[in-house]
Structure 1
Amino acid sequence: MQPSDFVQFDSDQARLGQLLFFDPILSGNRNIACATCHHPEHGSGDGLSLGIGEGGTGLGPDRLPGEGDTRIIKRIPRNAPALWNLGARDVDVMFHDGRVSVSDIYDNGFDTPAQEWLPEGLNSILAVQALFPMTSQFEMAGNPKENQVAGAAHDRIDAVWPILAKRVRVIPEYAEMFEAAFDDVNDPLDITITHVANALAAFEGTEFQSYDSPFDAYLAGDPAALDNTQQAGMALFYGKANCSACHSGPLLTDQDFHALMLPHFGPGKTRQWDPIVRDVGRMGASDRLEDAYRFRTPSLRNIALTAPYGHNGAYATLEGIVRHHLDARAGFEAWRADMVQLPDVPWLASGDMLPMQDLRERARLASQLDLPSQDLSDPEIAQIVAFLNALTGTKSVMGRLGRPDAVPSGLEVP
């Protein structure tokens, strides 16, 4: 990969997006920012299998579920996706279930939960993606009756965004920065959620670019960039183990959807009117039965920094998820609750593992599997893990703008 593989974002917009990314002003109760669940210190994730969203306190694996009337009432149903290289021009699908994708279905360039109500002028799929956590009750919006944003989210999805845009534009420092960064903003009243999303995309798309790993150096002609174990792992990855069948190309993902038979736990991402707790993956967005239990292939760049692994963080280690890929049925049967990274939430604990006790749902989940079994020895598995570690960037993982000391709203920076 190289700079030309990425959307070229404006640097002034990126600096503005940096502040917005770390500013809780975009959440309903002004208590959680984008960075809370996608923090540079945690590989652009949160280090949790299932995150603690609105109502929680703290950061990363030490985040707590809150207390009293404002405590969380549900875990985030899926693992927080890493943000590495999402500004690449080839990226055309977002979220574990692909519910945001490049498409002409609504004549606005994208297929999203907002359908025809998606705001105009969004400069990339990364900007489109940035809009939706703001509308999610358990991620950023908050619970009904707690704030105006949460109330609007239960009316119609696009009712949320004007409220948040107004919050931003009435802050003088933000207004001045928007006027300086966007040619079509001459007055604070010109600032819309499109400008907010485009600024967030500019930050994320530049801050989390990473293509300077030992693997990249090896491909560029430095044979010493990978040691013998990593080179053996690379040979297995592209050969006998056939990992590259799905993890292909510069981003190491086919951006397609596959059923991995990962164990299900937590609240699940249920569809409307779904009578049981489950997560049917891509089918939840497409409504096609053939998409049941299939999830988007993640990029493997910086994968060693982004544990836990799987759409729900079912495995806390790289070795664990690699072994599952090699024999998913055995992994499914042998999986234990202590393999995940879940903060203790006493009032939710009794339901955390209930889905795995539903025999019919287990059978349905186990009926979909796209991974052929592979017979690899323990040393070969160790070689693959070593190669995956060689996909970690060097200077790039330190970011470019980093974490600001303060944000214009005056709220606490995560």
Structure 2
Amino acid sequence: MPTADAQFAQHPLEEIVLGRQLYYDSILSGSRTVSCATCHHPRFATSDGVSLGLGDGGHGLGLARIADPDNPPEQRIPRNAPAMFNLGAREFTRFFHDGRLEADASRPTGLRTPLGADMERGFASALAAQAMFPVLSGDEMAGHYSENDVAQAVRQGVLTGEGGAWSILSQRIEAIPDYRAQFDATIGTRPIRFADIANMIAAFVAFEWRADDSPFDAFLREGVPLPDAAARGMRLFYGDAGCARCHAGQFQTDHGFHAIGMPQIGPGKAARFERHNRDLGRMRVTGRAGDAYRFRTPSLRNIAHTAPYGHAGSHATLEAVLRHHLDPVASLMSYDATQAILPGAAFDDDLAIINDPDEIARIAAANELAPMVLGEREVADLLAFLEALTDARGLHGRLGVPQTVPSGLPVDQ
């Protein structure tokens, strides 16, 4: 059983307010059409409500997001948009489904990132650093090949330093008087660096979506009894069902990586030059064959509201993904892809892996979970406990969505 309290990063209010504006401002995307909130919106419990989203080249939110016929997305975003809850807690040091960005005190920047030695300094935390990598992704925020200055820099591999994609975006913010004045109050009058922008966004995320005031927390802190079904579910979760072997700690995650036979839909996580639709998960980071198909254990806070589930959003309901855990191989082999929630018109690669028996067999062979049997009441009790991990205030955020942002660009409400 976890302890009652966790340590959270604390930030000045002016940083939080500035970060809120930057978070909702599409000025930080190459074509000025996508903000952080496009894929992490409070309307969808800090995700986007779909299995795999549409980034640059899309309009709207959630399942209502459609492709721009004059500039359609090249592909879906390869992985499901994870929720943002409690990322300001100090135990969150690894980010993305494959953990490709993590705190590492042995590195000069204090971070291990895909940029390696090119990573810039000044990021206050791993949370700040991860918040800004989507702007370097053509599918997410940077844009299509050469359609804007950021996209062109990204495609040429000029990401950091003078003339890099981060520098271009920093100069955009610098040129807006309202932003410049707010940065004057937080960093002084020196030029705005991209790390400064990231640090402000991280301050907002840490404040806005802290979620540690659920019925479960009330039980831990004050002994407030859970409803009977949730109490039975908690005993199962931390007992015979074995959920806590991976979903451990204050936020029900061991921050580790596990292969549990999750189906993959969509384009997969491949480099531009690769001609496959596979997603090898953690193996793409470590290069170790034993890490194939392993993905980071998600936190379960507010989990009842963050559907769909899985690294590719393969399961539309919490009950479906819970039942998958009971027998991952059988579930994988019988997976019905019609439950996937995919906005816009179909892409040719939406079902490429699901229809590839050899790849399905490899995913199944990597599975770590042994089958187990639970009765219908036990499944219902576990679902009741997972519902008891909901913090209503954290679910909807504290400051809410701003009506306007300093760039003057539209804000998705």
* TM-score when normalising by structure 1: 0.95
Distance 1:372 1:97 in 2: 23
How far 1:65 sits from its partner (Å)? 2.1
- Rounded to whole Å, the distance in 1 between the matches of 2:120 and 2:362 is 38
User: Structure 1 CA distance, aligned partners of 2:33 and 2:273?
Assistant: 30
In the alignment, does 2:256 pair up with 1:253? no
Moved more, 335-344 or 47-56: 335-344
Q: Give, in whole Å, the separation in 2 of the partners of 1:66 and 1:149.
A: 19
Residues 58, 272 of structure 1: alpha-carbon distance in 2 compared, 3 angstrom cutoff: closer
TM-score (norm 2): 0.95
Which residue in 2 is equivalent to 1:378? Answer: 376
Deviations 1:61-97 (A, max 9, x none): 22112212x1112001100010001111111100000
1:93-147 deviations in whole A, cap 9, x for unaligned? Answer: 0000000011145422111011112121111111010120000000000011100
Counterparts of 1:14-413 in structure 2, within 5 Å, are 14-68=16-70, 70-104=71-105, 106-156=107-157, 157-158=159-160, 159-182=164-187, 185-187=188-190, 190-224=191-225, 226-271=226-271, 274-346=274-346, 348=347, 350-413=348-411
Contact kept in structure 2, 1:260 and 1:328, CA below 8 Å: yes
Task: Kindly provide the amino acid, as one letter, of the partner of residue 38 in structure 1.
Answer: H
Change (3 A) 1:51 1:377: same
Distance change >3 Å, CA 220–CA 106, structure 1 → 2: closer
- Aligned-pair identity (%): 45
1:301 & 1:19 partners in 2: Cα distance?
25
Q: Is the 8 A contact 1:106 1:115 kept in 2?
A: no
In 1, Cα distance between the equivalents of 2:344 and 2:63?
Answer: 11
What are the Cα deviations for residues 155-205 of structure 1, in whole angstroms up to 9, with x where unaligned? Answer: 2232210000000010000000000122xx215xx1110110110111011
Counterpart of 1:10 in structure 2 is 12
Q: How many Å apart are 1:58 and its aligned residue?
A: 0.6
Kept after mapping to 2: 8 A contact 1:2/1:211: no
Q: CA RMSD in A?
A: 1.4
CA shift, 1:356, in A, is 1.5
Q: What is the CA distance between 1:400 and its match in structure 2?
A: 1.7
For these two proteins, the number of residue pairs brought into alignment is: 406
What whole-Å deviation, never above 9, does each CA across 1:249-275 have from its counterpart, x for those lacking one?
001100000001111211000246544
Moved more, 130-139 or 2-11: 2-11
Q: Conserved in 1, the CA contact under 8 Å of 2:215 and 2:389?
A: yes
Deviates more, 1:391-400 or 1:364-373: 391-400
* Structure 2: gaps spanning 5 or more residues: none
SS of corresponding position for 1:357: coil
> Partner of 2:102: helix, strand, or coil?
strand
- Tell me, in whole angstroms, the C-alpha distance in 1 between the residues paired with 2:304 and 2:142: 31
Give the direction of change, closer, same or farther, for the CA distance of 1:336–1:4 in structure 2 (3 Å limit).
closer
CA distance in 2, matches of 1:71, 1:151: 17
Is contact 1:271-1:284 (8 Å) kept?
A: no
Determine which structure has the larger helix proportion and give its number.
1
Q: What do residues 277-317 of structure 1 show as CA deviations (whole Å, max 9, x unaligned)? A: 11000011111111100000000001011110011111010
**Pair 380,88 (structure 1): closer, same or farther in 2 beyond 3 Å:** same
Amino acid at match of 2:41: H
Between the aligned partners of 1:244 and 1:289, the Cα distance in structure 2 is: 26
Q: 1:266 to 1:233 in 2, by over 3 A?
A: same
Structure 1 residue runs of 4+, over 3 Å off? Answer: 1-4, 271-275
Partner AA of 2:368 in structure 1: D
Secondary structure (helix, strand or coil) at the match of 1:90 reads: coil
CA change 1:273–1:289 in 2 (3 A) is farther
Instruction: Letter of the 2:213 partner, please give it.
Output: D
Shift, 1:365, TM fit:
1.3
Contact 1:270–1:284 under 8 Å retained in 2? no
The separation in 2 between residues aligned to 1:61 and 1:5, in whole angstroms, is: 35
